[in-house]
Amino acid sequence: GDAMGMNMISKGVQNVLDYLQDDFPDMDVISISGNFCSDKKPAAVNWIEGRGKSVVCEAVIREELIKKVLKTNVQSLVELNVIKNLAGSAVAGALGGFNAHASNIVTAIFIATGQDPAQNVESSQCIAMLEAVNDGKDLHISVTMPPIEV
């Protein structure tokens, strides 16, 4: 399966440093990582460039289902998304967290599949977009998550 390979990168860098240390014994190594990887921290670089896997999910939900199951309508959901997920997150200064708890879903999946649940921090960097389609009757949902670290 897929793996980010951070442990292998760390081991490889350590081997290179050991090799260099033989030729440059006065060299002081203070750290293997400069933390630009921003491991387990939300960071602009991950929001912009992605990290691990980048995922986009889309669905169209019919008006009848929204009324029957969610007991609301398409326009109310679109407005709620703008006010809460987009504007509310922006006012809070969220770094790519324009969603309603996407990291909770990722954490549950990571625990169930044996992934590192601490990688959920980056998974909060997700944007949910809702749009009325088909003359306002149906709801198009798009979720974009640039950094999913597996």
Tell me the pLDDT tens digit for each residue of 95-135.
Answer: 888 988 888 999 999 999 988 888 888 888 999 999 999 99
Q: Partners of 141 in the beta sheet?
A: 59, 130
Can you tell me the distance from the alpha carbon of 52 to that of 112, in angstroms, rounded to the nearest whole number? 19
* DSSP secondary structure, 45-84, as one string: HHHHH--SEEEEEEEEE-HHHIIIIISS-HHHHHHHIIII
- Structural domains of the chain in order of their starting residue, each with its CATH number: 35-148 (3.90.770.10)
- pLDDT the model gives residue 2: 60
What whole-number distance in Å separates Cα of residue 142 and Cα of residue 1?
26
* pTM greater than the 0.95 cutoff: no
